[in-house]
Amino acid sequence: MDYKSQFGKNLKMLREEKGIGQIELAEKLNVSKGSISLWENGLREPTMSSLIVLAKFFGCSIDYLVGLED
């Protein structure tokens, strides 16, 4: 599995575990709903600053988000 699809799967899983939709996550991160969708589907990569915000929001490491650790 490539890292883009693993990142998308991890992002979706974390989002669903928090019980929030793409729109709510997008609002909390100050990005578009489309960005969340593109990230989850492996069609676009987040910026480093977005990865940092995501890791802080979900309380996990960037390595976990991108699939480098379990």
* Structure-token pair, residue 50: 């977005």
The domain spans of the chain are 3-64
How confident is the model over 8-31, as pLDDT tens digits? Answer: 999 999 999 999 999 999 999 999
Superfamily (CATH H level) for 3-64: lambda repressor-like DNA-binding domains (1.10.260.40)
Instruction: Report the predicted TM-score, pTM, of the whole model to 2 decimal places.
Output: 0.91
In whole angstroms, how far apart are CA 58 and each of 9, 13, 23, 24, 37?
14, 11, 16, 14, 17
Type of residue found at 23:
I
How confident is the model over 37-51, as pLDDT tens digits? Answer: 999 999 999 999 999
* Residue 31: CB atoms within 10 Å: 17
